[in-house]
Every structure is written in C-alpha cells, then in structure tokens.
Structure 1
Amino acid sequence: MTELRTDRLTLRRWRDADLEPWAAMNADPEVREHLGDPLTREQSDASVARFQAEFDRRGYGWWAVEVQATGEFIGFAGLDEVDDGMPFTGVEIGWRLARPAWGQGYATEAALAVLAHGFDTLELAEILAVTTAANLRSQAVMRRIGMTRDPAEDFDDPAAPEGPLRPNVLFRIARGARG
C-alpha cells in the first residue's frame, strides 16, 4: 500500500492503535454533524476493516492520517468510488479530522497529496467531492484545492433522511485543471 507524505503529515495504512481515536472521532457529534448519527465502537471498527479491504482490492481508499512530528493519529483522507444510487459516478475525495486538528490546514494538505496521487499515480481523469450544503468548512477545503462547483449539479442525497443532511453539493476537478 502506498504511503503518502507531506511537509507535516503521513497518510498510511491503518493500525490497531488508530481504532480508539477513530472511534472517539466517530462518537463526537461535532465531527459527525454533516455525516449522520455518531457511530458505536463496533460500527467504527467495522469501518476500518472495510477501508482496509477496499484498499487491498482497489489499490486506493482511505488512508489514516498522522502528524509526522508527533505520530498522532488525526483522522483520514483518501479516495473512494461514488456510492451506488447517486446521480453521478466517479471517484470522490474526502477527509475527516478530529476536532483538535481543525483549523490547522491539515485537511487541505492531506487533500492535495491525495489529489496528486489520484491524478499522477492512478491517472484519474477527474476527481469529485460531495458534502452537505451546510458543510461550509469542507466546501472551503474543496475550493482551496482547486475544485469548482456548478450549483446546477447540487442534489438531494437519496440515502439521507429528510432534513439538513439531504441537500448536497458536488465539486469537481479535472486532471489538467491543477495549478
């Protein structure tokens, strides 16, 4: 499995030591605000098992993200196939960080490394990003990494219940659009 490095971060394979802080993140209502209900420890652990299996099968997926200077696990970033039932197809980029890691540029830094891997190594023609219409922090990261949004492509997530998680926005970036 490819490991990605930035100036401050390592995107790497998941370790057993990541399970506890990952579960704490997934139990945090603020981290889960735009994702749905908090996860149980069992659901959180199962998600890591899925991430590893998908990475092994496809050669890409969700990397664990750690701060190089401290070795601290702070979340995940990576690429995933768009879920079935969505009004579009492709590969999407995403990230999720623990609250203490917010506001430090880590999401942007990790996302830029993931984009480079997606375009330069996987030779993807385009990468998508999706979030709720209310998730302005993630939308800001999407803009910082060069993605653009066409409001005509906004959609209601068919898997989300009625309410604030249903309206979603779609951002895109093509391989040649990177600066």
Structure 2
Amino acid sequence: MACCCFTTQHLSVFSWRDVLADHVRRASLEVELRGVLTPEVLEHLPPSLQLQGGKGSISDWIDARFEESDVHIIESLHTSDIVGLLILAEGADALGQTVLHIGYLFAQHAWGQGYASEMLLGLCSAVGQIRPVRLVGGVDKHNIASARVLQKAGFELKQELSTADTDMYVREFP
C-alpha cells in the first residue's frame, strides 16, 4: 500500500526500503535504532518483535521486519532524528476487503510528546484516501497508553477479535 508516506506538523513518515538498499544508510539506521529498540520500548510488543541478543541482533531484527511487513521510519521534522517506527502488514478479509494491520513503537525519549497520536491521525488521513480499508491494531492489555492513542484516533475496541493478552482495535474506512 503506497499511501503510507506522509508528513504531519512534527513528523515525516516514510518507507525504509530506500534506506535499506544503501549499505551506508542502513549502517547508520542500525546505529540509530540501538537507541530506539530498548527493552523499555519493546516491553509490550509480541515475542516476534523482541531483539534476540547477540552482535547482529539489530540487523537480524531489520531483516525479519523487512520480510514480513512494510516498515516506515518516523522522523522528527525539526531534528531529523528517528523517533519511532510504523509497521504495516497488508492482508484481506473473507470478503476481499483490504485489512492493514498496524504496529508502532516510539523511542523512549519521544514518549509523552503526542507523536503517536499525531502519527496515527496522519496515517488515518493518508489511508482515508484509499477506500475501502480496515485498520487493525493490537495492544497488550497492560499498555494502556497505546490503547488510548488508538481510541483517540477513532479506533474501536473489538472484543470478538481480542485475546486474553491483547486488545484488538479497528477503524473502518468504507
């Protein structure tokens, strides 16, 4: 789904594909992600998104995300620093409607600044141009802040999709 590169008041959100294609830029990304992918940031994410440790773990993490999803870098427009990542996985429901599973994480230094809400509203605006689509986001039941961000962006809790550990939120663009 090509719609998901966008700019908001404070953020630039763009695919990391061009960055990964250039070995110098990728090496720089790996260094910068060491400050983003901390244990505190990864705490509420599924086991598949955890770092496995070892020297190549950031590189391995990038390769795994590249294989399974579209990842977008979230940069501050003011500093050009990476403040987070937006992870998108496209699929379809039983009726053939596009379903876009979203995940996001923000560097600990970016918490509490409204970036997650701003990014989600920008994503909804970009996705709203392509219809129909359903956005789906899963949140660890202990991650109340992330659930609130989704709710503020118009997502509704769907108990029938939720599990014992994860609440599922949906926003429809008919």
Name the TM-score, length of structure 1 as normaliser.
0.73
Q: Is the 8 A contact 2:51 2:58 kept in 1?
A: no
Q: Is the 8 A contact 2:89 2:101 kept in 1?
A: yes
Q: Secondary structure at the match of 1:126?
A: strand
Unmatched tracts of structure 2, length 5 or more: 20-25, 92-97
Answering whether residue 138 of structure 2 is matched by residue 130 of structure 1, we say: yes
Partner AA of 1:8 in structure 2: H
Answering whether residue 110 of structure 2 is matched by residue 112 of structure 1, we say: no
Query: How many Å apart are 1:115 and its aligned residue?
Result: 2.2
Query: How many Å apart are 1:117 and its aligned residue?
Result: 2.4
Instruction: Please give the alpha-carbon distance, in whole angstroms, between the structure 1 residues aligned to 2:7 and 2:67.
Output: 22
Summarize deviations over 1:104-144 as a string: whole Å, max 9, x none.
111111112222222314x3421111011111111011101
Q: Secondary structure at the match of 1:48?
A: helix
Instruction: Please give the alpha-carbon distance, in whole angstroms, between the structure 1 residues aligned to 2:87 and 2:132.
Output: 14
Name the counterpart of 1:149: 157
Answering whether residue 103 of structure 2 is matched by residue 94 of structure 1, we say: yes
Query: How many Å apart are 1:51 and its aligned residue?
Result: 4.4
- Sequence identity of aligned pairs in percent? 21
Query: How many Å apart are 1:54 and its aligned residue?
Result: 5.9
Name the counterpart of 1:160: none
144, 156, 173: which one aligns with 2:171: 173
Answering whether residue 15 of structure 2 is matched by residue 21 of structure 1, we say: no
Partner AA of 1:127 in structure 2: L
Query: How many Å apart are 1:43 and its aligned residue?
Result: 3.1
Q: Is the 8 A contact 1:150 1:171 kept in 2?
A: yes
Instruction: Please give the alpha-carbon distance, in whole angstroms, between the structure 2 residues aligned to 1:4 and 1:104.
Output: 19
Q: Secondary structure at the match of 1:139?
A: helix
Query: How many Å apart are 1:52 and its aligned residue?
Result: 4.6
Query: How many Å apart are 1:21 and its aligned residue?
Result: 2.2
Higher relative contact order (CA 8 A, sep 6+): 2
Counterparts in 2 of 1:118 and 1:79: CA distance versus 1, 3 Å: farther
